[in-house]
Structure 1
Amino acid sequence: MHYKRIRKTGHADSINDLSIEERFWSKTERDGDCIVWSAGRSDTGYGTVKLDGRTQLVHRVAYEWSGRTIPEGLVLDHLCRNRACVNVEHLEPVTQAENVARGVSPLARYITDVPQDLCSKGHKLTSENVYVHRRPGRQRPTLACKTCRRIRAAA
């Protein structure tokens, strides 16, 4: 018996005797309403786990294991604002623009309070029609019009 296994899981069973889902959930802890991932995390604070030979975000794994699907083109927003939370009741599929707009960063405040109504080509600037453009050599990202990007890509 290994003392670390007993301390972490509460039992002396071999970790290999547990199913993948049992091993996954043994690495979580309750914190109020949140179910927090207590194992590996990315630099940005999101829980990560290696499954099927690749590193995956744990909140996406938990969401899909609950029988729900993440529609194409959408991301999961943590309604609780806890990036390590895997409680599927705290996750909602939204567009990336909506996810950024709901955030607390200065960029999120800028997206929700877009200073002008139209881009330089006359397209309406809304949170759905704006994307974050990161230019090489520039520290600050800028916001750009998605319609203009689609037109440039088609040309």
Structure 2
Amino acid sequence: MPMLDEETKSYFWTLVDKQGVGECWNWNGKRMPLKNSKKPGYGTFSANGKTCVAHRYAYQALVGRIPDGLVLDHTCRNHGCVNPAHLEPVTNKENILRGTAPPAKNAAKTHCKHGHPLIGENIKRRVRVFGNSVTIERSCLACRKLRKSWEGDKGKLRKAAYYSNFVPHERVGHDK
């Protein structure tokens, strides 16, 4: 966090709408858009020629240093909130899993789309690397086994099932 002079500190707090105890403190300054969205995201301000993130500054000014390796999670789900009571230091993974983006939705799934449980030995895990990020994908082994049994010789049945409206009778265990 950059060292702020008293004038910048007081200006910062004029951009915060403190609504009350337990309520969000909304940032009324500039907000950068959320990634892949036009919705307003985190509040930003300029200090000493550097762009600072408003909620990080508020947390550090009122609570203290953010522990190394942790990010601040908005427990209120309001990206414009700078109330330190609504900010919790967590790992980036925990922050993502608490959200509503596809990785969080997929991690929360307990069954595949055909109703098989995604637990224990019914899961096939695959590690995928995209540039600097690594993801672990889960797939249902029960569905995989059924899919392999449908294939028949050289995938003829599989092609018929997936590339036309033909639904083979061997699809026992699935509703669709």
Q: Is the CA contact (8 Å cut-off) linking 2:75 and 2:88 kept in structure 1?
A: yes
Aligned twin of 1:72: 68
Give the greater-gyration-radius structure (CA).
Answer: 2
Bigger drift between 107-116 and 24-33 goes to 107-116
Does the residue aligned with 1:39 lie in a helix, a strand or coil? coil
Aligned twin of 2:29: 39
Letter in 1 for 2:136: A
1-side partners of 2:16 and 2:8: how far apart? 14
Letter in 2 for 1:41: R
Q: Does 2:92 match 1:86?
A: no
Question: What TM-score does the superposition give when structure 1 sets the normalisation length?
Answer: 0.62
Aligned twin of 1:143: 135
Q: Is the CA contact (8 Å cut-off) linking 2:126 and 2:136 kept in structure 1?
A: no
Q: Which of 122, 125, 134 lines up with 1:119 in the alignment? A: 125
Letter in 2 for 1:34: C
C-alpha RMSD of the superposition? 2.9
- Among all aligned residue pairs of Structure 1 and Structure 2, give the percentage whose two residues are the same amino acid: 37
2-side partners of 1:83 and 1:120: how far apart? 33
Question: What TM-score does the superposition give when structure 2 sets the normalisation length?
Answer: 0.56
Q: 1:98 to 1:19 in 2, by over 3 A?
A: same
Q: Which of 101, 106, 109 lines up with 2:102 in the alignment? A: 106
Structure 2: any 5+ residue segments left out of the alignment? 1-5, 35-40, 111-117, 138-176
Aligned twin of 2:165: none
User: How much has 1:113 moved relative to structure 2?
Assistant: 3.3
Moved over 4 A (4+): 114-118, 132-135
Letter in 1 for 2:66: I
User: Which structure has more strand as a fraction of its residues?
Assistant: 2
Aligned residues: 114
Does the residue aligned with 1:97 lie in a helix, a strand or coil? helix
Post-superposition Cα deviations, 1:109-147, rounded to whole Å, max 9, x if no partner, equal: 1123385656348xxxxxxxxxx9656xxxxx98238xx
Structure 1: any 5+ residue segments left out of the alignment? 1-17, 122-131, 136-140, 146-155
